[in-house]
């Protein structure tokens, strides 16, 4: 069977590169000092509503730090428990690219693309009041996951604030707390 042209990325451009470092603090130090990326904005102990991993409910909790490297968002993830998730087991790769992210207006488009291209939906959850997210494996296995995030009001503004903070950043206050 011939795959339609466009693949999952026809949904939009990749806007994020995400990593799950073995040493979270050392990774932030590397990105801020060696790469000059920052400041990072921390969101701690995130437990997404109605989160499912491979169709089963999960209580996975994670923290993350976001910064921009030009137009590309860098996400560093720290799993906070060992609940089934893409951050442990088969998909729990460390110290290399873990996943990319696409922003969408409608999560139904992501489900349709996964079905069309045979991508396995690994994680699905609600994000805030009106957002949603899925993480899918389009066939590349660990380290090749695609996050598809349906934005909610405030998402674009938050990302714009983080990006703006990095323009001309002088290296001060490299990790800032959100929420």
Task: Give every residue of the chain whose pLDDT is below 70, as ranges.
Answer: 1-5
CATH, range 12-167 = 3.10.180.10
- Residue 3 confidence (pLDDT): 52
Share of the chain above pLDDT 70, in %: 97
- Residue 11 confidence (pLDDT): 93
pLDDT tens-digit profile of 51-66? 999 999 999 999 999 9
Burial readout 9-47 (b: 16 or more C-beta within 10 A, e: otherwise): eebeeebbebbbbeebeebbeebbeeeebbbbbbeeebe
* Paired sense of beta strands 145-150 and 97-104, if any: parallel
User: pTM of the prediction?
Assistant: 0.94
């Amino acid at each position: 069977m011939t795959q339609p042209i466009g693949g999952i990325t026809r949904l939009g451009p990749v806007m994020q590169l995400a990593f799950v470092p073995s040493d979270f603090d050392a990774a932030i130090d590397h990105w801020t000092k060696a790469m000059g990326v920052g400041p990072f904005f921390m969101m701690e102990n995130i437990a997404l509503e109605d989160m499912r991993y491979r169709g089963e409910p999960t209580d996975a909790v994670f923290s993350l730090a976001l910064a921009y490297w030009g137009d590309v968002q860098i996400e560093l993830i720290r799993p906070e428990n060992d609940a089934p998730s893409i951050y442990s087991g088969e998909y729990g790769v460390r110290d290399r690219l873990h996943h990319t992210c696409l922003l969408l207006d409608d999560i139904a488009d992501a489900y349709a693309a996964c079905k069309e291209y045979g991508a396995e939906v690994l994680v699905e959850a609600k994000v805030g009041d009106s957002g949603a997210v899925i993480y899918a494996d389009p066939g590349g296995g660990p380290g090749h996951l695609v996050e598809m995030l349906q934005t909610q009001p405030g998402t674009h503004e938050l990302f714009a604030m983080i990006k703006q903070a990095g323009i001309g950043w002088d290296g001060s206050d490299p990790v800032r707390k959100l929420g």
